[in-house]
């Protein structure tokens, strides 16, 4: 079985939590990360917190092997730091085509007033590294001796494991509306963040996919510039308890109510089969850490039932707290 996790809004939907839960629950043989270091995935498990930018969130399952897909980008500094923090030296694979970001790309990006001031780039060098890759000037993992022992052919590893009946998890990055092709250009990221783009980065065709799990938070947040329909003032967001800060940048996230129209479009374009809703407890305080659907407050169940009807896609996962295990899993009921 191959499952893919994709973000449905502007990133920060809780993909890290969902991927960590799937790592524990579904026990994938291999978890694959696409994307780059300009977005963070927060994982909270057994009282510990990790803020990851490139290591797959399913690392919490110590039996799961990990891989960086050919389309991924990382810096050596971030990569080795997270390998130390997650203690994953002995189970991480890196495809030879992974792009390596250096201080040159970071410096160039931070000195670009258009990216920093107009677009609101995180300044991690990702955009410049991607542009150099397109121009065939970027150095790849295969060019670095210190990465030699980690390098394998990741797409073939995925396919071999699928052929042998193993579970595979692919963890996407950011969100649908930050896609270079499907977001509000130019206020987008430097890659295609949809399910099709994630599969392309992993080197896997769509016929292998069993489930595309699209993740939405119970409200919408966005970091950086660009439109945000129904945006709340900082004061109103604070009153509602919806104040958040970006994992990578530390910047205050902009907040808006859940947007059904955007969610439906993202579901269609990503051909999502299951919806994951996170931070239900932010809207319904009594839902905090509830792990059985029947024990949710009535108003929370009503909100979910009505939302599922509007989205026309089953809600299979519901996050109710910070820990990876704070999850209501309805997938067996909706499949």
Q: What is the mean pLDDT of residues 134-161?
A: 98
pLDDT the model gives residue 38: 87
Phi-psi region of 12 (alpha: psi -120 to 50; beta: other; left: phi over 0): left
Phi-psi region of 323 (alpha: psi -120 to 50; beta: other; left: phi over 0): beta
pLDDT the model gives residue 248: 67
pTM strictly above 0.75 = yes
Catalytic residue among 12, 26, 95, 326: 12
pLDDT in tens, 239-269: 888 888 776 667 788 999 999 999 999 999 9
**What does the alpha-carbon distance between residue 51 and residue 44 come to, in Å, rounded to a whole number?**
9
Annotated catalytic, 12? yes
The b-or-e profile of 199-238 (16+ CB within 10 A means b, else e) is: bbbbbbeeebbebbbbbbbbbbbbbbebebeeebeeeebe
pLDDT the model gives residue 335: 66
DSSP helix, strand, coil percent of the chain (3-state; round to 5): 40, 20, 40
Annotated catalytic, 163? no
What is the per-residue DSSP string for 27-38? --SEEEE-S-TT
pLDDT in tens, 47-65: 999 999 999 999 999 999 9
Q: Is the pLDDT of residue 315 over 90?
A: yes
**Helix (H) or strand (E) run with residue 6 in it:** strand 2-7
Please give the span between the terminal C-alpha atoms of the chain, in angstroms, as a whole number: 14
What superfamily does domain 2-334 belong to in CATH?
A: Adenylosuccinate Synthetase, subunit A, domain 1 (3.40.440.10)
Catalytic residue among 41, 97, 176, 182: 41
């Amino acid at each position: 079985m191959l499952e893919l996790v994709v973000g449905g809004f502007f990133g920060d939907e809780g993909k890290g939590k969902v991927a960590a839960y799937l790592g524990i629950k579904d026990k994938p043989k291999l978890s694959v990360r696409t994307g780059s270091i300009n977005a963070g995935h927060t994982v909270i498990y057994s009282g510990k917190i990790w803020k990851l930018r490139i290591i797959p969130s399913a690392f919490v399952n110590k039996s799961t092997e990990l891989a960086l897909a050919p389309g991924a980008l990382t810096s050596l500094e971030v990569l080795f730091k997270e390998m130390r923090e997650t203690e994953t030296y002995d189970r991480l694979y890196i495809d030879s085509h992974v792009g390596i970001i250096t201080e040159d790309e970071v410096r160039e990006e931070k000195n670009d007033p258009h990216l920093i001031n107009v677009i609101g780039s995180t300044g991690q060098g990702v955009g410049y590294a991607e542009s150099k890759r397109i121009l065939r000037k970027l150095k790849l993992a295969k060019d670095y001796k210190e990465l030699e022992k980690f390098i394998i052919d990741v797409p073939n590893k995925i396919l071999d494991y699928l052929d042998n009946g193993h579970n595979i998890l692919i963890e996407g990055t950011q969100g649908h509306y930050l896609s270079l092709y499907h977001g509000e250009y130019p206020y987008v990221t430097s890659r295609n963040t949809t399910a099709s783009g994630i599969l392309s980065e992993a080197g896997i065709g769509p016929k292998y996919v069993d489930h595309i799990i699209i993740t939405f938070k119970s409200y919408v947040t966005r970091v950086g510039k660009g439109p945000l329909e129904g945006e709340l003032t900082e004061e109103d967001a604070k009153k509602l308890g919806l104040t958040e800060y970006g994992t990578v940048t530390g910047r205050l996230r902009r907040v808006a109510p859940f947007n059904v129209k955007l969610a439906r479009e993202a579901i269609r374009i990503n051909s999502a089969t299951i919806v994951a809703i996170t931070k239900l407890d932010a809207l319904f305080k009594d839902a905090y850490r509830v792990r059985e659907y029947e024990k949710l407050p009535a108003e929370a169940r009503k909100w979910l039932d009505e939302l599922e009807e509007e989205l026309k896609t089953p809600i299979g996962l519901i996050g109710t707290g910070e820990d990876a295990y704070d999850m209501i899993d309805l997938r067996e009921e909706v499949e």
